């Protein structure tokens, strides 16, 4: 029997956080999902695999400058076929 741990916040029609042994999910059934950072001049940092077995920052919402910053050597792909790219190599 496979156990699928689930955490419900706000009841079964609110936010569900689930891990199935392979993937993790955040499911919201009511309202918006809002990420907030209340600390002055601090950031929201998005990190993922660096394609070499480590982890790296891909982009940051910078609370001190009001900018979204993408790290060097990262590419923004636009379109379902990824036919448009914005790239900066630093």
Provide CB contacts within 8 A for 59, sequence distance 6+: 46, 68, 69, 70, 71, 74
Q: Judge whether 9 and 26 are in contact, CB under 8 Å.
A: no
Provide the pLDDT for residue 2.
Answer: 60
Provide the pLDDT for residue 14.
Answer: 87
Tell me the pLDDT of the chain (90 aa) as tens digits.
566 678 898 887 889 999 888 889 999 988 898 999 999 999 999 999 998 999 999 999 999 999 999 888 888 999 999 999 998 887
């Amino acid at each position: 029997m496979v156990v699928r741990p689930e955490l419900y916040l706000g009841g079964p029609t609110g936010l569900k956080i689930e891990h199935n042994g392979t993937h993790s999910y955040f499911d919201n059934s009511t309202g918006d999902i809002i990420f907030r950072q209340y600390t002055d001049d601090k950031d929201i940092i998005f990190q993922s695999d660096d394609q070499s077995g480590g982890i790296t920052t891909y982009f940051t919402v910078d609370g001190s400058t009001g900018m979204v910053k993408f790290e060097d050597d990262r590419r923004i792909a636009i379109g379902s076929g990824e036919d448009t790219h914005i790239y900066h190599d630093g």
